[in-house]
Structure 1
Amino acid sequence: MASIPFSSPPWMLGLPSPYHTDSHRAWQKACRAFMQKHLHAHALDWENEGDLPAHVYKTFSDHNMLLPALPPPLPLGMLKELGVHDFLGVVKVEDFDYIHFSIYISELRACGVPGVSSALISDMAYAVPPLIKYGSAELQKRVLGRFVKGEIRGCIGITEPGAGSDVANIAASAVKTPDGRHYVVNGEKKWITNGIWADYCTMAVRTGGPGATGLSILLVPLKGHPGVSIRRLKTSGGTTGGTAYIELDDVKVPVENLVGEEGQGMKMIMRNFNHERLLITIGVTTSARVALSSAFEYVMKREAFNKPLMDQPVVRNRLAKCGAELESLSAWVEQLVFQMANLEKSVSDAELGGLTALAKARAGIVFDKCVRCAVLLFGGNGFTRTGQGELVEKLYREVPGARIPGGSEDVLLDLAVRQLVKNYRAKVRALESAKL
């Protein structure tokens, strides 16, 4: 079967790849079949309606297809204790690596509607990992199994009206009661993906003084909990993502819900960011493919001035420039994913943290170019919310969601260079010390 140019990375077209094994290829086919059956066929309709039906989340959960959003290596002991041994009968949990993860995210996003994937995996991708890595045995026993079984849902609560990329300025406070049994939480969280459905929020709060050292992570109950108020925020894109504004007024949370230790919140947040940013990068790259390949397909059949648009040199020029940037980005992402799959987590965080931030920023820029190209080539259809250009019009409204969340673009560009400088200077000092 012929594939529309730019619709898939080369390895999925049967071309050689140094990264992808037979296991990865089998997983991609299984993922594609599952997603097309249970998600892609109705994704546009659900986005238009503004909600992802509850049965979709249940279907994914029943098939253990929310769990691949977790960062590899997976928590094997917990999963096997809960009876999870493989995904779709194709990949054993012990074999699941970051390349499998990348394929999973790409297949989720191949429908071209990012909101539905956010509604499905935000808890596993962002809210649950800190609980797995840093939660006490008691906290894990109490909630992790329920998350894995899909009995409860979660969200990550970092951003506030006055603190976005500037995480160290988080103001939401958590103060212990005199008897030491509870924290009392006050504050606001804004732009919280999945917030309207979440039972719990893995929340950054201030338990100490100003700055990064005063931050902690607390698992805060939401639904029906006294003092919690949640309202939906309307965003330009990602309608089905359930973005919420959460207000906390004297919310009592058991001290047992502290994740890790007090004052260690910044470290946990930053380590979780690498996974979040890689996920966003993969998803945004896929969205760019959907946009550009849709335009390519359209101009092959659309006629103007008595010939297909593809016969116009200016059209080919636009496609070529965006296609070159897209394929370059895609190759870089594959390289990053391979490196993450083959490095220890501590080494990966140190060596790839800055580059992952840079890739996330670059992905947003390339996506912007590709979807603008698509809208222009669709002409009036690209400016219309229904009809032939419906998908690219929707994707055009997703650009801010690609360039802002997970660390806004300018912040990440600066962070990337600062991290590279830091690593370079550290290695120079190590070499100088070795000579002494």
Structure 2
Amino acid sequence: MAAPSKTFSRAQVKKEGNSEDNVWFIIDSKVYDVSDFLDAHPGGEAVLRQVAGTDATEAFYNLHRHEVLTGKYAELAIGTIEGEKPEVVNPGPGELSKVPYAEPLWLSPPFKSPYYNASHHSLQKAVRKFTDLYVTPEAQAKEKDGTYISQELIDRMSKAGLLHMSLGPGKHLNSAPTLLDADVKPEQFDYFHDLIVSQEMTRAAARGFQDGNMAGMKIGLTVVLNYANNEAFKKRISDECFSGKKKICLAITEAFAGSDVARLRTVAKKTPDGKHYIVNGTKKWITNGVFCDYFVTGVQTEKGLSVLLIERGEGVETKLIKTSYSTAAGTTFITFDNVKVPVENLLGKENQGIYVILSNFNHERWTMSCAVVRYSRIIVEESLKWAHQRIVFGKRLIDQPVIRLKLAKMIALVEAHQSWLETVTYQMCNMPYSEQSKHLGGPIGLLKMSCTRMAHEIADEAVQIWGGRGLTQSGMGRVIENFNRGYKFDAILGGAEEVLGDLGVRQAMKFMPKEKL
């Protein structure tokens, strides 16, 4: 919204803005008339009359985020103070933040990085703008009301190539309509581009919707692309999912088995003619399952674990599970009751599904690490802003040494984990898939474990900095509250911290020298 052209003197605001009929005040060199807003103000009329005719900049920013003035309340501005310019700069869609440590170092001049080239910068700008314009507004609305992602946003992401890019590098990118019109070709797309997409989309700051935004596809469709035994079958399923016409999810976890996937109890038995499997069992905590058409499902077959693509139909029932975060995630309990599945829907080899499942974990855990680090950085940015403007005991929070120490800890944790993440990502870019499976399962497991431990520390420190606002789902502290309520999902989903830590050490032991040291 363009700034009002009318100008006032401070004396004029003081004289005309403090009367029975008029309540005006100044915020950052702009004059606001709230005379008709007195009854609607959540804090009551008295709060506004206390600052009538004055410069309320300090009082306002002690209670509110700047975004309040860029939303529907922007229309309350009636002019500006003559000879003065606003000091608060609010980044527009796609722009970088000017707050220290709000962006990773590779996006913060004069710092440099050996990992990112012009194509990465081009993609980052495109995804940032797309997220700011289309993803964040819907994410905030859906996170609040608990409804699922709109088909409109899914279609928009499909046309922009974001559904394709969310699965990482691969031949599937050749079928994308575009890669957001960024200066990057499908064959150039590497894991750093993948990291950028994941981290930029996380900036919507809505943990439930973050999973609701086709997270099931990211970990489910990859299995189809890598293990479908029939090219026509693979093309049909992938085309339907990349177009957004069909939704897919990964259905492994059960009430009986989480990290111990080998103990799954869902059973698939072949019919006498060998043309179908009959599937019976249940799955629990399946992300996106409520609204999905396809379920990439772990089952027990005659001699071991197998993976089937099961289509929603007769015998498939899904129920919403309410968890700590928003129901926008579509977390699901699934019942398979004598479901008839064609044998052509087998993914990988029969009785060897454990290898299919395990090979899928690395990218899932790495993607979660990308998101945890980025959301943690958002908390650092929000806390720096808050500490800079909040007045306590006559001083800004940032002027208190104890607060600076908390912020220092948070910044150090985020920067350290971003660096570790980029080191692992570089290995992914320079190792064939077979080598990644052999050498990176442990390091990625340790990375995810450490990232979620970091999130625990950052959530704890942030709530202490924010006080009651850090526990409030609206207003200035909503981002902190959402993070504090949702960070534990990353500590459990994709493998619990304890399991991943053990995996990392056990894999390291395989490469220990045999001689005594």
TM range (shorter): over 0.9
1:194 aligned residue (288, 293, 303): 288
Q: Is the 8 A contact 1:218 1:258 kept in 2?
A: yes
Q: Is the 8 A contact 1:67 1:124 kept in 2?
A: no
Structure 1 stretch 298-307 or stretch 146-155: which is displaced more?
A: 146-155
Q: Is the 8 A contact 1:351 1:423 kept in 2?
A: no
1:217 aligned residue (298, 307, 322): 307
Q: Which residue of 1 aligns with 2:166?
A: 69
The number of aligned residues is 417
Return the letter of the residue paired with 1:60.
M
Q: Is the 8 A contact 1:195 1:243 kept in 2?
A: yes
Q: Which residue of 1 aligns with 2:481?
A: 393
Q: Is the 8 A contact 1:134 1:259 kept in 2?
A: yes
Q: Is the 8 A contact 2:123 2:182 kept in 1?
A: no
What is the SS of the residue equivalent to 1:417?
Answer: helix
1:398, distance to aligned residue in structure 2 (A): 0.7
Q: Deviations over 1:349-399 (max 9, x none)?
A: 211110000000111110111122111111111121211111110111112
Return the letter of the residue paired with 2:164.
L
Determine what percentage of the aligned residue pairs are the same residue: 36
Q: Which residue of 2 aligns with 1:94?
A: 187
Unaligned runs of 5+ in 2: 1-95
1:348, distance to aligned residue in structure 2 (A): 1.5
Q: Which residue of 2 aligns with 1:39?
A: 135
Alignment of structure 1 residues 8-47 onto 2, 5 Å: 8-14=103-109, 15-47=111-143
- State the alpha-carbon separation in 2 of the partners of residues 88 and 239 from structure 1: 33
What is the SS of the residue equivalent to 1:424?
Answer: coil
Q: Is the 8 A contact 2:373 2:417 kept in 1?
A: yes
Q: Deviations over 1:210-242 (max 9, x none)?
A: xxxx111100012xx111110011110253211
Which has the higher relative contact order, 1 or 2, with Cα contacts under 8 A spaced 6 or more apart?
1
- State the alpha-carbon separation in 1 of the partners of residues 286 and 134 from structure 2: 25
- State the alpha-carbon separation in 1 of the partners of residues 350 and 364 from structure 2: 23
Q: Which residue of 1 aligns with 2:81?
A: none
- State the alpha-carbon separation in 1 of the partners of residues 500 and 416 from structure 2: 19
- State the alpha-carbon separation in 2 of the partners of residues 85 and 381 from structure 1: 41
- State the alpha-carbon separation in 2 of the partners of residues 343 and 316 from structure 1: 41
- State the alpha-carbon separation in 1 of the partners of residues 156 and 97 from structure 2: 31
Unaligned runs of 5+ in 1: 430-436
- State the alpha-carbon separation in 2 of the partners of residues 236 and 124 from structure 1: 22
Alignment of structure 1 residues 254-269 onto 2, 5 Å: 254-269=342-357
Alignment of structure 1 residues 232-271 onto 2, 5 Å: 232-271=320-359
Q: Is the 8 A contact 2:144 2:326 kept in 1?
A: no
Q: Is the 8 A contact 2:216 2:287 kept in 1?
A: no
2:214 aligned residue (96, 104, 121): 121
The structure-2 alpha-carbon separation of the partners of 1:421 and 1:63, relative to structure 1 and needing over 3 Å to count, comes to: same
Alignment of structure 1 residues 203-352 onto 2, 5 Å: 203-209=297-303, 214-222=304-312, 225-352=313-440
1:120, distance to aligned residue in structure 2 (A): 2.3
Q: Deviations over 1:107-154 (max 9, x none)?
A: 010121132232223243111111111102232133221112111110
Q: Is the 8 A contact 2:162 2:179 kept in 1?
A: no
Alignment of 1:171 with 2:265, yes or no, is yes
- State the alpha-carbon separation in 1 of the partners of residues 381 and 478 from structure 2: 14
Return the letter of the residue paired with 2:282.
E
